[in-house]
Amino acid sequence: MMSTTTLDTPRLPAARLATVNWSACALVMAALLAAPLFLGDYYLHAMVLAMIFLLPALGLNLILGYTGMLSLAQGVFFGLGAYGSALMAIHFGTPFLVNFLCAGLLAGLIALPLGIPALRLRDTSFVMCTLGMVVIAQVVSKNWVDLTRGDMGLSGVPRPTLGFGEMALTIVRAPEYFYLVLVLAALAVAAFVALIRSPAGRCMVAIRDNETLAESLGVPTWTYKLIVFMLSAVFAGLGGSLYAHFSTVVSPLVFQAYYSNTILIIVLGGGVGKVPGAIIGSFVFVAVSEALRITPELRMVIYGFVLLGLVFLFPQGLAPLFHGAAERIARIGQGGSKEQRDVR
What is the tens place of the pLDDT at every residue in 136-150? 999 999 999 888 888
Rounded CA separation 198/14 (Å): 19
pLDDT at residue 342 above 80?
A: no
| pLDDT of the residue at 8 | 41
| pLDDT of the residue at 4 | 44
Examine residue 12 and state whether it is found in any structural domain, yes or no: no
Examine residue 57 and state whether it is found in any structural domain, yes or no: yes
Label residue 271 by pLDDT band (50, 70, 90).
confident
| pLDDT of the residue at 334 | 60
Model pLDDT for residues 119-134, shown as the tens digit of each residue: 888 888 899 999 999 9
Average pLDDT on 97-109 reads: 94
The three-point CA angle 256-208-56 to 5° equals 30
Considering only residues 275 and 106, tell me which one the structure prediction assigns the higher pLDDT. Answer: 106
**Cβ atoms of 108 and 231 closer than 8 Å:** yes
**Residue (of 191, 183, 146) closest to 162 by Cα position:** 183
Examine residue 233 and state whether it is found in any structural domain, yes or no: yes
The three-point CA angle 240-243-248 to 5° equals 125
Model pLDDT for residues 72-96, shown as the tens digit of each residue: 999 999 999 999 999 999 988 888 9
Model pLDDT for residues 169-183, shown as the tens digit of each residue: 778 888 889 999 999
Examine residue 222 and state whether it is found in any structural domain, yes or no: yes
Examine residue 240 and state whether it is found in any structural domain, yes or no: yes
| pLDDT of the residue at 122 | 81
Domain extent at residue 81: 40-331
**DSSP state at residue 71:** -
pLDDT at residue 341 above 50?
A: no
Model pLDDT for residues 30-81, shown as the tens digit of each residue: 888 888 888 888 888 888 999 999 999 999 999 998 888 899 999 999 999 9
pLDDT at residue 329 above 80?
A: no
Cβ burial, residue 239 (10 Å; 0-12/13-18/19+): buried
Q: At what angle do helices 96-118 and 221-247 cross, to 10 degrees?
A: 140
| pLDDT of the residue at 335 | 54
State how many domains the chain has. Answer: 1
pLDDT at residue 214 above 70?
A: yes
| pLDDT of the residue at 333 | 56
What pairing do the DSSP bridges indicate for beta strands 249-250 and 154-155?
Answer: antiparallel
| pLDDT of the residue at 6 | 42
Considering only residues 220 and 23, tell me which one the structure prediction assigns the higher pLDDT. Answer: 220
| pLDDT of the residue at 22 | 76
Examine residue 342 and state whether it is found in any structural domain, yes or no: no
**pTM: predicted TM-score of the whole model, two decimal places:** 0.88
Examine residue 168 and state whether it is found in any structural domain, yes or no: yes
Contacts of 199 (CB under 8 A, 6+ apart): none
**Residue (of 58, 29, 43) closest to 266 by Cα position:** 58
Examine residue 116 and state whether it is found in any structural domain, yes or no: yes
User: How much is the mean pLDDT over the chain?
Assistant: 85
For the chain, counts of helices (H) and of strands (E): 14, 4
pLDDT at residue 238 above 80?
A: yes
Side chain identity at residue 36, one-letter code: P
Q: At what angle do helices 275-291 and 319-343 cross, to 10 degrees?
A: 120
